[in-house]
Structure 1
């Protein structure tokens, strides 16, 4: 029986998707500057391209057993980087947004989930190497169960991240409503929708793959309807970095519009115009908004917060925010 040609298999297409997305992510990084956020789709897409290429080498090509076992091990490492790396997008935002107790709780939950995900993938890696070296001992059932736990935990970690993101951005959005014509509301709507989209995409992918992979009969082969559905869902997962790229570009566009609006206001006031007068409410709340991003000046300080302070009481609450590692450089204050 002749060996299957590489580009006749779905793994070649998935690897090509990863390669193309990798190149697009680099182009976007060149536009908006290279940051930890823009690095994530680059790393995830590169891992996707390498892992799927190694899959063909390990499970379809006729190479020495030792070489195939090494290729299978590295393929699982790069799959871990690809799939767990998707959650690092939300992590990078929350690491800059959360403070004190919230940050401690989030970090504990997040890294516990990542440790479980890594443990599951390590178990899969060892099982596959054993199966390649000893093909008479099928370990597919063990691999399937490990995959079920692996994908469920990916869905869980994204749910945790989305909870903290939506909670923070909702607070910031409510505070920004106090500034009637302030463009911050649009920014927080963008960030909230972005978190909702990631949650609505990655969670179904994780849950669906946990179900479909339980029916996997042969290592890395789509031999039944469930395994074909699993391959389809994994294809969507390979395309997910495009969502991150669109999100980064949307943040850049929102930032540009906000700074343009603020420049117009500053010019108008410098020419004798008057801005919106603050309310004279004696029991009002002072709202101070300040965000910075790394898009235009990466060396600036990374200050970002909405500060709510009561005039009568000395109480003060700070709601820190961040725009995808972006430094949205403008600030304002008003009284309501």
Structure 2
């Protein structure tokens, strides 16, 4: 006959073997998760905008006289110095025009000299009662006409020399030159349009629209910084940060009626030429001294209908904490305004298996350095 152990004996055996008693579920296995600490960091107080790079100086080069293009004297895309020669128009006709004007001026001066002599003679005859007042007055009028002709000839000569100078097209600013729209041998003139464009390089402007809400918040702030002391940083489209810091130098006097924004402009150093005219960038305004903020990896944030929350590890178990992220982020991290005080062990990896209250086995993960 087979004897079965009593329930009490089975329970005692189970305790001795560290096994669950009959009818009790086995404890859940701890879920492995990757964790990182919520850190308190000194972060710049900044506002983010979308901006565009603009050259301080921009010149559209045009021909001011008509003629055959004799030479293109620059390489497209190269940096150029102020006063550098860009195009040369055939000067022969304009040199001939200068000589013609010089000849007309010489004739005019000779006529003026003759008129002066005739007036002197007419006056001498009148003084000896051998001449008439009418003859003297006619001679004076002839002198005035000759003087006017000389003035006109001098102006024509100056115009001819100016037109000759226009055959040498130079750059009025230093910068970088774009493509040429014409090549040697073509006829160019005032109607030819833009021959090429030059944009200055250092410094550059960065313009960006600021909403009325943000603008009013700045104006009404009791501790708002002076406009000229607001630091401006920019990031490129690939997320990399530009190494120079700019300063706000202009705020538009009117609000754009279509977008209800105010255009703000900053001056940004560009010694290496990394900024290009028309480039789209992200703009961050540094509004004050760095402030202590709690930051966590963005991968830890979970959103649902109730808002945003994170899981933290408490006594070996997962616990949910509702948080309020800040308006900005610092690279791979997110600023937390409410819900965490810093120092909490936040679950970053393995969140798909985490539920409130389940046991977890925490392992630290490597955290990329964030910008402070």
Q: Could you state the TM-score of these two structures normalised by the residue count of structure 2?
A: 0.22
Q: Could you state the TM-score of these two structures normalised by the residue count of structure 1?
A: 0.24
Q: Which has the larger radius of gyration?
A: 2
Larger RCO (CA within 8 A; separation ≥ 6) = 2
* Greater share of strand: 2
* Greater share of helix: 1
